[in-house]
Structure 1
Amino acid sequence: MITSPPKRGMALVVVLVLLAVMMLVTITLSGRMQQQLGRTRSQQEYQQALWYSASAESLALSALSLSLKNEKRVHLAQPWASGPRFFPLPQGQIAVTLRDAQACFNLNALAQPTTASRPLAVQQLIALISRLDVPAYRAELIAESL
Protein backbone atom coordinates (compact mmCIF):
# COMPACT_ATOMS: atom_id res chain seq x y z
CA MET A 1 0.00 0.00 0.00
CA ILE A 2 1.25 3.38 -1.02
CA THR A 3 0.74 6.21 1.42
CA SER A 4 0.52 9.82 0.39
CA PRO A 5 2.83 12.34 1.94
CA PRO A 6 1.31 14.19 4.90
CA LYS A 7 -0.37 17.50 4.11
CA ARG A 8 1.44 19.66 6.58
CA GLY A 9 0.51 23.17 5.40
CA MET A 10 -3.21 22.58 4.89
CA ALA A 11 -4.18 23.38 8.49
CA LEU A 12 -2.23 26.62 8.34
CA VAL A 13 -3.99 27.64 5.10
CA VAL A 14 -7.41 26.90 6.60
CA VAL A 15 -6.59 28.96 9.70
CA LEU A 16 -5.36 31.88 7.56
CA VAL A 17 -8.50 31.81 5.37
CA LEU A 18 -10.72 31.78 8.46
CA LEU A 19 -8.72 34.65 9.94
CA ALA A 20 -9.08 36.66 6.72
CA VAL A 21 -12.86 36.07 6.64
CA MET A 22 -13.18 37.10 10.29
CA MET A 23 -11.17 40.26 9.62
CA LEU A 24 -13.43 41.17 6.68
CA VAL A 25 -16.52 40.70 8.83
CA THR A 26 -14.96 42.80 11.60
CA ILE A 27 -14.01 45.60 9.19
CA THR A 28 -17.53 45.60 7.69
CA LEU A 29 -19.14 45.75 11.13
CA SER A 30 -16.78 48.53 12.19
CA GLY A 31 -17.63 50.56 9.07
CA ARG A 32 -21.34 50.14 9.68
CA MET A 33 -20.91 51.18 13.30
CA GLN A 34 -19.10 54.35 12.19
CA GLN A 35 -21.95 55.12 9.76
CA GLN A 36 -24.53 54.68 12.51
CA LEU A 37 -22.55 56.90 14.87
CA GLY A 38 -22.36 59.57 12.16
CA ARG A 39 -26.11 59.37 11.57
CA THR A 40 -26.81 59.60 15.28
CA ARG A 41 -24.52 62.61 15.64
CA SER A 42 -26.22 64.29 12.68
CA GLN A 43 -29.68 63.66 14.15
CA GLN A 44 -28.59 65.06 17.51
CA GLU A 45 -27.22 68.21 15.88
CA TYR A 46 -30.43 68.62 13.88
CA GLN A 47 -32.55 68.31 17.01
CA GLN A 48 -30.28 70.77 18.83
CA ALA A 49 -30.64 73.25 15.96
CA LEU A 50 -34.43 72.92 16.19
CA TRP A 51 -34.29 73.70 19.90
CA TYR A 52 -32.00 76.67 19.29
CA SER A 53 -34.39 78.07 16.69
CA ALA A 54 -37.37 77.53 18.99
CA SER A 55 -35.48 79.34 21.75
CA ALA A 56 -34.65 82.23 19.44
CA GLU A 57 -38.30 82.48 18.44
CA SER A 58 -39.36 82.46 22.08
CA LEU A 59 -36.87 85.23 22.88
CA ALA A 60 -38.16 87.27 19.95
CA LEU A 61 -41.75 86.88 21.08
CA SER A 62 -40.88 87.87 24.64
CA ALA A 63 -39.00 90.96 23.40
CA LEU A 64 -41.98 92.00 21.27
CA SER A 65 -44.51 91.37 24.02
CA LEU A 66 -42.39 93.36 26.47
CA SER A 67 -42.27 96.26 24.01
CA LEU A 68 -46.03 96.11 23.48
CA LYS A 69 -46.66 96.03 27.21
CA ASN A 70 -44.97 99.41 27.65
CA GLU A 71 -46.28 101.09 24.49
CA LYS A 72 -49.33 100.69 22.29
CA ARG A 73 -47.55 101.15 18.95
CA VAL A 74 -44.69 99.14 17.54
CA HIS A 75 -41.87 101.27 16.15
CA LEU A 76 -38.20 100.90 15.29
CA ALA A 77 -36.99 102.86 18.33
CA GLN A 78 -38.01 100.01 20.63
CA PRO A 79 -35.36 97.65 22.07
CA TRP A 80 -36.29 94.74 19.78
CA ALA A 81 -35.16 96.75 16.72
CA SER A 82 -31.81 97.81 18.18
CA GLY A 83 -29.82 95.22 16.25
CA PRO A 84 -28.75 91.63 16.64
CA ARG A 85 -28.65 90.04 20.05
CA PHE A 86 -25.98 87.45 20.66
CA PHE A 87 -26.42 84.44 22.90
CA PRO A 88 -23.38 82.32 23.76
CA LEU A 89 -23.39 78.59 23.16
CA PRO A 90 -20.82 75.94 24.07
CA GLN A 91 -19.49 75.83 20.50
CA GLY A 92 -20.31 79.32 19.21
CA GLN A 93 -23.14 81.79 19.48
CA ILE A 94 -26.58 82.57 18.11
CA ALA A 95 -27.36 85.96 16.63
CA VAL A 96 -31.04 86.88 16.76
CA THR A 97 -32.11 89.78 14.56
CA LEU A 98 -35.68 91.03 14.36
CA ARG A 99 -36.79 92.98 11.31
CA ASP A 100 -39.96 94.86 10.59
CA ALA A 101 -41.60 93.05 7.67
CA GLN A 102 -44.51 95.44 7.40
CA ALA A 103 -42.85 97.42 4.61
CA CYS A 104 -42.01 94.35 2.52
CA PHE A 105 -43.67 93.76 -0.83
CA ASN A 106 -45.70 90.57 -1.16
CA LEU A 107 -45.05 89.02 -4.58
CA ASN A 108 -47.71 86.39 -3.92
CA ALA A 109 -50.37 89.08 -4.33
CA LEU A 110 -49.41 89.29 -8.02
CA ALA A 111 -49.90 85.56 -8.54
CA GLN A 112 -53.66 85.71 -7.86
CA PRO A 113 -55.35 87.38 -10.84
CA THR A 114 -58.89 86.96 -9.51
CA THR A 115 -58.56 88.93 -6.29
CA ALA A 116 -59.38 92.59 -5.94
CA SER A 117 -55.97 93.28 -4.38
CA ARG A 118 -54.09 92.59 -7.62
CA PRO A 119 -54.49 96.11 -9.08
CA LEU A 120 -53.15 97.58 -5.83
CA ALA A 121 -50.24 95.12 -5.83
CA VAL A 122 -49.45 95.99 -9.46
CA GLN A 123 -49.46 99.70 -8.63
CA GLN A 124 -47.18 99.11 -5.65
CA LEU A 125 -44.77 97.04 -7.75
CA ILE A 126 -44.66 99.73 -10.44
CA ALA A 127 -43.91 102.32 -7.77
CA LEU A 128 -41.13 100.17 -6.29
CA ILE A 129 -39.55 99.51 -9.67
CA SER A 130 -39.78 103.20 -10.58
CA ARG A 131 -37.85 104.04 -7.40
CA LEU A 132 -34.96 102.05 -8.86
CA ASP A 133 -34.70 104.55 -11.75
CA VAL A 134 -36.34 102.16 -14.21
CA PRO A 135 -38.40 103.96 -16.87
CA ALA A 136 -42.16 103.94 -16.22
CA TYR A 137 -43.05 102.01 -19.39
CA ARG A 138 -40.54 99.29 -18.51
CA ALA A 139 -41.87 99.11 -14.92
CA GLU A 140 -45.41 98.65 -16.26
CA LEU A 141 -44.19 95.99 -18.67
CA ILE A 142 -42.47 94.09 -15.84
CA ALA A 143 -45.52 94.35 -13.58
CA GLU A 144 -47.93 93.17 -16.27
CA SER A 145 -45.71 90.26 -17.27
CA LEU A 146 -46.01 88.82 -13.78
Structure 2
Amino acid sequence: MKPQKPSERGAALLSVLLMVAVLAVIAATTLDRLSLSNRLSGNGNALAQARMFTYATEAIASARIEDLVARDAAQTTLAGDWLGKPQTIPIPIGSATASVRDAGNCFNLNSLVTETGGQYVASAAGQEQMISLMVGLGINENTARIIAAASADWADSNVMPLPNGVEDDGYRSLATPYLAANGLYAHPSELRAVNGVTPAIYAKLQDWICALPDPVLSPLNVNTLLPEQAPLLAMLFPPGKMNLTLARSYLAKRPSSGYGSLIRFWAAPEIAALQPSSLVQGQVKLTSNYFLLSTIVSFGELKLAGQSMIVASPAPARVVWRSWGEEE
Protein backbone atom coordinates (compact mmCIF):
# COMPACT_ATOMS: atom_id res chain seq x y z
CA MET A 1 0.00 0.00 0.00
CA LYS A 2 1.38 3.37 -1.04
CA PRO A 3 1.91 5.65 1.97
CA GLN A 4 -0.05 8.96 2.03
CA LYS A 5 1.79 12.17 1.67
CA PRO A 6 1.53 14.62 4.60
CA SER A 7 -0.30 17.09 2.35
CA GLU A 8 -2.95 14.46 1.55
CA ARG A 9 -3.40 13.62 5.24
CA GLY A 10 -3.84 17.34 5.95
CA ALA A 11 -6.45 17.68 3.19
CA ALA A 12 -8.38 14.68 4.52
CA LEU A 13 -8.33 16.09 8.04
CA LEU A 14 -9.52 19.47 6.74
CA SER A 15 -12.37 17.75 4.88
CA VAL A 16 -13.41 15.91 8.05
CA LEU A 17 -13.28 19.09 10.11
CA LEU A 18 -15.29 20.95 7.46
CA MET A 19 -17.91 18.17 7.45
CA VAL A 20 -18.13 18.27 11.25
CA ALA A 21 -18.57 22.08 11.14
CA VAL A 22 -21.35 21.78 8.53
CA LEU A 23 -23.12 19.10 10.58
CA ALA A 24 -22.82 21.28 13.71
CA VAL A 25 -24.41 24.24 11.87
CA ILE A 26 -27.22 22.01 10.56
CA ALA A 27 -27.84 20.62 14.07
CA ALA A 28 -27.84 24.09 15.64
CA THR A 29 -30.21 25.43 12.98
CA THR A 30 -32.54 22.46 13.42
CA LEU A 31 -32.60 22.88 17.21
CA ASP A 32 -33.18 26.63 16.85
CA ARG A 33 -36.07 26.08 14.46
CA LEU A 34 -37.50 23.41 16.74
CA SER A 35 -37.27 25.79 19.68
CA LEU A 36 -38.90 28.57 17.63
CA SER A 37 -41.64 26.19 16.53
CA ASN A 38 -42.32 25.23 20.15
CA ARG A 39 -42.45 28.90 21.19
CA LEU A 40 -44.78 29.76 18.32
CA SER A 41 -46.99 26.82 19.18
CA GLY A 42 -47.04 27.88 22.83
CA ASN A 43 -47.84 31.49 21.91
CA GLY A 44 -50.59 30.31 19.56
CA ASN A 45 -52.16 28.20 22.31
CA ALA A 46 -51.90 31.07 24.81
CA LEU A 47 -53.49 33.48 22.31
CA ALA A 48 -56.33 31.04 21.59
CA GLN A 49 -57.03 30.58 25.31
CA ALA A 50 -56.87 34.32 25.94
CA ARG A 51 -59.44 34.84 23.18
CA MET A 52 -61.69 32.21 24.75
CA PHE A 53 -61.54 34.10 28.05
CA THR A 54 -62.40 37.30 26.14
CA TYR A 55 -65.47 35.59 24.64
CA ALA A 56 -66.51 34.54 28.15
CA THR A 57 -66.08 38.12 29.39
CA GLU A 58 -68.27 39.35 26.50
CA ALA A 59 -70.99 36.89 27.55
CA ILE A 60 -70.85 38.07 31.18
CA ALA A 61 -70.88 41.73 30.14
CA SER A 62 -73.80 41.19 27.74
CA ALA A 63 -75.87 39.60 30.51
CA ARG A 64 -75.10 42.46 32.90
CA ILE A 65 -75.94 45.05 30.24
CA GLU A 66 -79.29 43.34 29.67
CA ASP A 67 -79.97 43.61 33.42
CA LEU A 68 -78.91 47.27 33.44
CA VAL A 69 -81.23 48.18 30.56
CA ALA A 70 -84.12 46.11 31.91
CA ARG A 71 -83.85 47.72 35.36
CA ASP A 72 -85.55 50.87 34.05
CA ALA A 73 -86.83 50.93 30.50
CA ALA A 74 -87.42 54.68 30.67
CA GLN A 75 -83.85 55.71 31.40
CA THR A 76 -80.28 54.46 31.80
CA THR A 77 -78.43 56.21 34.62
CA LEU A 78 -75.12 55.93 36.46
CA ALA A 79 -76.79 54.07 39.32
CA GLY A 80 -74.63 51.11 40.32
CA ASP A 81 -71.36 52.88 39.48
CA TRP A 82 -70.96 50.77 36.33
CA LEU A 83 -69.55 53.35 33.91
CA GLY A 84 -65.84 52.80 33.28
CA LYS A 85 -65.27 50.94 36.55
CA PRO A 86 -62.71 48.11 36.11
CA GLN A 87 -64.07 44.73 37.11
CA THR A 88 -61.94 41.64 37.81
CA ILE A 89 -63.17 38.56 35.97
CA PRO A 90 -62.24 35.22 37.59
CA ILE A 91 -60.48 32.87 35.15
CA PRO A 92 -58.70 29.55 35.87
CA ILE A 93 -55.26 30.76 34.74
CA GLY A 94 -53.92 34.30 34.57
CA SER A 95 -56.11 37.34 35.12
CA ALA A 96 -58.76 39.35 33.30
CA THR A 97 -60.22 42.80 33.82
CA ALA A 98 -63.10 44.48 32.03
CA SER A 99 -64.77 47.86 31.95
CA VAL A 100 -67.85 49.17 30.15
CA ARG A 101 -68.66 52.65 28.93
CA ASP A 102 -71.61 54.20 27.13
CA ALA A 103 -70.60 53.87 23.48
CA GLY A 104 -73.31 56.26 22.27
CA ASN A 105 -71.69 59.24 24.00
CA CYS A 106 -69.34 60.11 21.15
CA PHE A 107 -69.46 61.59 17.68
CA ASN A 108 -70.78 58.86 15.40
CA LEU A 109 -68.76 59.03 12.17
CA ASN A 110 -71.63 57.28 10.40
CA SER A 111 -73.89 60.25 11.20
CA LEU A 112 -72.05 62.01 8.36
CA VAL A 113 -74.47 60.22 6.02
CA THR A 114 -78.10 59.20 5.95
CA GLU A 115 -79.54 56.16 4.19
CA THR A 116 -81.98 56.88 1.36
CA GLY A 117 -83.18 54.18 -1.00
CA GLY A 118 -80.28 51.90 -0.17
CA GLN A 119 -77.74 54.68 -0.81
CA TYR A 120 -75.72 56.70 1.67
CA VAL A 121 -76.13 60.45 1.19
CA ALA A 122 -74.02 63.13 2.89
CA SER A 123 -75.72 64.66 5.94
CA ALA A 124 -75.34 68.41 6.50
CA ALA A 125 -76.39 68.00 10.16
CA GLY A 126 -73.74 65.36 10.78
CA GLN A 127 -71.05 67.50 9.19
CA GLU A 128 -72.01 70.56 11.26
CA GLN A 129 -71.80 68.54 14.48
CA MET A 130 -68.38 67.21 13.54
CA ILE A 131 -67.20 70.75 12.79
CA SER A 132 -68.56 72.01 16.11
CA LEU A 133 -66.83 69.19 18.00
CA MET A 134 -63.50 69.86 16.28
CA VAL A 135 -63.71 73.58 17.00
CA GLY A 136 -64.49 72.78 20.64
CA LEU A 137 -61.35 70.63 20.74
CA GLY A 138 -59.20 73.48 19.47
CA ILE A 139 -59.05 72.67 15.75
CA ASN A 140 -59.22 75.59 13.31
CA GLU A 141 -62.74 75.95 11.87
CA ASN A 142 -61.59 76.12 8.21
CA THR A 143 -59.57 72.94 8.70
CA ALA A 144 -62.55 71.36 10.46
CA ARG A 145 -64.86 72.13 7.52
CA ILE A 146 -62.46 70.52 5.04
CA ILE A 147 -62.12 67.41 7.20
CA ALA A 148 -65.88 67.13 7.77
CA ALA A 149 -66.61 67.29 4.03
CA ALA A 150 -63.90 64.76 3.21
CA SER A 151 -65.14 62.49 6.02
CA ALA A 152 -68.68 62.59 4.61
CA ASP A 153 -67.35 61.85 1.10
CA TRP A 154 -65.53 58.83 2.54
CA ALA A 155 -68.84 57.28 3.65
CA ASP A 156 -71.35 58.45 1.01
CA SER A 157 -72.19 56.16 -1.90
CA ASN A 158 -71.42 58.48 -4.82
CA VAL A 159 -68.05 59.46 -6.31
CA MET A 160 -68.81 63.17 -6.71
CA PRO A 161 -66.88 65.22 -4.14
CA LEU A 162 -68.69 67.70 -1.92
CA PRO A 163 -67.44 71.30 -1.76
CA ASN A 164 -64.14 70.97 0.19
CA GLY A 165 -64.52 67.19 -0.09
CA VAL A 166 -62.39 64.46 -1.68
CA GLU A 167 -63.38 61.33 -3.57
CA ASP A 168 -61.39 58.59 -5.35
CA ASP A 169 -59.47 60.91 -7.71
CA GLY A 170 -57.94 62.75 -4.77
CA TYR A 171 -56.70 59.53 -3.16
CA ARG A 172 -55.44 58.03 -6.44
CA SER A 173 -52.95 60.87 -6.76
CA LEU A 174 -51.20 60.08 -3.46
CA ALA A 175 -47.75 58.47 -3.27
CA THR A 176 -49.52 55.32 -2.03
CA PRO A 177 -52.85 55.46 -3.87
CA TYR A 178 -56.10 54.03 -2.48
CA LEU A 179 -59.86 54.59 -2.83
CA ALA A 180 -62.53 56.03 -0.56
CA ALA A 181 -64.66 53.44 1.24
CA ASN A 182 -67.99 54.80 -0.08
CA GLY A 183 -69.67 52.95 2.74
CA LEU A 184 -70.17 53.18 6.50
CA TYR A 185 -67.16 53.44 8.76
CA ALA A 186 -66.39 50.04 10.26
CA HIS A 187 -64.05 51.41 12.93
CA PRO A 188 -63.14 54.94 14.04
CA SER A 189 -59.48 54.35 13.07
CA GLU A 190 -60.59 54.56 9.42
CA LEU A 191 -60.69 58.33 9.85
CA ARG A 192 -56.88 58.34 9.65
CA ALA A 193 -57.16 57.62 5.93
CA VAL A 194 -59.38 60.64 5.24
CA ASN A 195 -57.93 63.68 3.50
CA GLY A 196 -56.74 66.35 5.93
CA VAL A 197 -56.64 64.11 9.00
CA THR A 198 -53.07 64.41 10.23
CA PRO A 199 -51.70 62.28 13.13
CA ALA A 200 -51.98 65.35 15.38
CA ILE A 201 -55.64 65.93 14.47
CA TYR A 202 -56.50 62.24 14.86
CA ALA A 203 -54.86 62.27 18.31
CA LYS A 204 -57.24 65.07 19.32
CA LEU A 205 -60.28 63.27 17.93
CA GLN A 206 -59.72 59.60 18.74
CA ASP A 207 -61.23 59.70 22.24
CA TRP A 208 -64.35 61.52 20.98
CA ILE A 209 -65.33 59.58 17.87
CA CYS A 210 -66.96 56.21 17.27
CA ALA A 211 -68.41 54.18 14.41
CA LEU A 212 -71.87 53.03 15.47
CA PRO A 213 -73.44 50.44 13.14
CA ASP A 214 -76.25 52.82 12.11
CA PRO A 215 -76.10 56.13 10.16
CA VAL A 216 -77.84 58.16 12.87
CA LEU A 217 -76.94 61.33 14.74
CA SER A 218 -75.02 60.46 17.91
CA PRO A 219 -77.62 59.25 20.47
CA LEU A 220 -76.21 61.12 23.46
CA ASN A 221 -77.59 59.90 26.77
CA VAL A 222 -77.59 63.00 29.01
CA ASN A 223 -78.04 60.74 32.05
CA THR A 224 -74.58 59.19 31.52
CA LEU A 225 -72.74 62.04 29.78
CA LEU A 226 -69.96 63.14 32.14
CA PRO A 227 -68.94 66.76 32.80
CA GLU A 228 -65.56 66.08 31.16
CA GLN A 229 -67.46 65.14 28.00
CA ALA A 230 -68.84 68.67 27.71
CA PRO A 231 -67.57 69.08 24.08
CA LEU A 232 -70.11 66.42 23.04
CA LEU A 233 -72.97 68.45 24.48
CA ALA A 234 -71.59 71.63 22.88
CA MET A 235 -71.35 69.93 19.46
CA LEU A 236 -75.17 69.86 19.28
CA PHE A 237 -75.07 73.60 18.59
CA PRO A 238 -73.25 75.70 15.97
CA PRO A 239 -69.50 76.17 16.61
CA GLY A 240 -68.88 78.36 19.64
CA LYS A 241 -72.56 78.84 20.49
CA MET A 242 -72.43 76.78 23.68
CA ASN A 243 -69.65 77.71 26.09
CA LEU A 244 -67.74 74.62 27.32
CA THR A 245 -67.71 75.91 30.89
CA LEU A 246 -71.50 76.23 30.77
CA ALA A 247 -71.79 72.71 29.33
CA ARG A 248 -69.59 71.23 32.07
CA SER A 249 -71.47 73.08 34.77
CA TYR A 250 -74.85 71.95 33.47
CA LEU A 251 -73.80 68.28 33.29
CA ALA A 252 -72.32 68.48 36.80
CA LYS A 253 -75.70 69.64 38.16
CA ARG A 254 -77.53 66.58 36.80
CA PRO A 255 -79.85 64.93 39.36
CA SER A 256 -78.24 61.79 40.81
CA SER A 257 -81.29 59.77 39.75
CA GLY A 258 -81.17 61.10 36.17
CA TYR A 259 -83.35 63.69 34.50
CA GLY A 260 -86.36 61.39 34.27
CA SER A 261 -87.74 63.49 31.43
CA LEU A 262 -86.26 65.20 28.40
CA ILE A 263 -88.64 68.10 29.04
CA ARG A 264 -86.84 68.60 32.33
CA PHE A 265 -83.47 68.55 30.55
CA TRP A 266 -84.40 71.08 27.86
CA ALA A 267 -86.36 73.35 30.20
CA ALA A 268 -83.32 74.72 32.02
CA PRO A 269 -82.91 78.42 31.13
CA GLU A 270 -79.25 78.07 30.09
CA ILE A 271 -80.19 75.34 27.58
CA ALA A 272 -83.52 76.78 26.41
CA ALA A 273 -81.80 80.07 25.58
CA LEU A 274 -79.72 78.26 22.94
CA GLN A 275 -82.92 77.38 21.02
CA PRO A 276 -82.03 73.78 20.09
CA SER A 277 -83.50 72.56 16.82
CA SER A 278 -86.15 69.84 16.76
CA LEU A 279 -83.56 67.55 15.13
CA VAL A 280 -81.19 68.00 18.07
CA GLN A 281 -84.00 67.59 20.63
CA GLY A 282 -84.88 64.26 19.03
CA GLN A 283 -81.25 63.20 19.05
CA VAL A 284 -80.74 63.50 22.81
CA LYS A 285 -81.75 60.41 24.82
CA LEU A 286 -82.32 59.25 28.39
CA THR A 287 -81.44 55.64 27.59
CA SER A 288 -78.37 53.86 26.23
CA ASN A 289 -78.27 51.16 23.58
CA TYR A 290 -74.58 50.97 22.60
CA PHE A 291 -71.90 49.85 25.05
CA LEU A 292 -68.15 49.48 24.58
CA LEU A 293 -66.49 46.67 26.51
CA SER A 294 -62.72 46.97 27.07
CA THR A 295 -60.89 43.84 28.26
CA ILE A 296 -57.34 42.93 29.22
CA VAL A 297 -56.53 39.23 29.57
CA SER A 298 -53.11 38.24 30.94
CA PHE A 299 -52.09 34.67 30.23
CA GLY A 300 -48.49 33.76 30.95
CA GLU A 301 -46.31 36.30 29.15
CA LEU A 302 -49.19 37.26 26.84
CA LYS A 303 -51.38 40.30 27.54
CA LEU A 304 -54.32 40.59 25.13
CA ALA A 305 -56.25 43.88 25.00
CA GLY A 306 -59.65 43.88 23.32
CA GLN A 307 -62.65 46.04 22.60
CA SER A 308 -66.17 44.82 21.82
CA MET A 309 -69.20 46.84 20.75
CA ILE A 310 -72.35 45.48 22.40
CA VAL A 311 -75.84 46.50 21.28
CA ALA A 312 -78.50 46.04 23.98
CA SER A 313 -81.72 46.30 21.97
CA PRO A 314 -83.49 44.38 20.61
CA ALA A 315 -82.68 41.76 23.25
CA PRO A 316 -80.66 39.69 23.69
CA ALA A 317 -77.62 41.97 23.90
CA ARG A 318 -75.13 41.05 21.21
CA VAL A 319 -71.61 41.84 20.03
CA VAL A 320 -71.56 43.60 16.65
CA TRP A 321 -67.79 43.94 16.31
CA ARG A 322 -64.62 43.22 18.26
CA SER A 323 -60.95 44.04 17.90
CA TRP A 324 -57.87 42.56 19.58
CA GLY A 325 -54.25 43.53 19.97
CA GLU A 326 -51.34 42.40 22.11
CA GLU A 327 -50.58 44.97 24.80
CA GLU A 328 -46.88 45.70 25.26
Same fold (TM > 0.5): yes
Root-mean-square deviation (Å) = 3.6
- Percent identity over the alignment is 24
**Alpha-carbon deviations, 1:1-58, whole Å to 9, x = none?**
xx52368x69x94876665554344323212211210210121122122112212211
CA distance in 1, matches of 2:139, 2:43: 48
Which protein has the larger Cα radius of gyration, Structure 1 or Structure 2?
Answer: 1
Cα 1:127–1:18 change in 2 (3 A) is closer
Match of 1:38 in 2: 39
CA spacing shift, 1:129–1:142, aligned 2, 3 Å: same
* C-alpha deviation, 1:120, in angstroms: 1.6
Distance 1:6 1:78 in 2: 94
2:68 is the counterpart of 1:63: no
Quick one: structure 1 residues 99 and 18, their matched pair in 2 at CA, closer, same or farther if it must change by over 3 Å?
A: same
What amino acid is the match of 1:65?
Answer: E
For residue 86 of structure 2, what is the aligned residue in structure 1? Answer: 84
In the alignment, residue 2 of structure 2 is paired with which amino acid?
Answer: S
Q: Cα 1:27–1:115, aligned 2, differ >3 Å: closer, same or farther?
A: closer
Unaligned runs of at least 5 residues, structure 2? 150-163, 166-328
User: More relative contact order in 1 or in 2 (CA 8 Å, sep 6+)?
Assistant: 2
Match of 1:127 in 2: 132
Opposite residue 76 of structure 1, the aligned amino acid is L
Total equivalences in the alignment: 142
Q: CA deviation at 1:121?
A: 0.2
Q: Kindly tell me: are residues 79 and 62 of structure 1, through their superposed partners in 2, closer, same or farther at Cα, counting changes over 3 Å?
A: farther
Higher helix share goes to which structure? 1
1:63/1:80 contact within 8 Å kept: no
Equivalent residue letter for 1:131: G
Correspondence list, 1:86-125, <5 A: 86-87=88-89, 90-91=93-94, 93-110=95-112, 115=120, 118-125=123-130
Tell me the TM-score normalized by structure 1.
Answer: 0.69
What residue number does 1:5 align with? 3
Q: Given that residues 86 and 97 in structure 2 are in contact (C-alpha distance below 8 angstroms), is that contact kept between their aligned partners in structure 1?
A: yes
**Equivalent residue, structure 2, for 1:143:** 148
TM-score, normalisation: structure 2: 0.35
After alignment, is 16-25 or 78-87 more displaced? 16-25
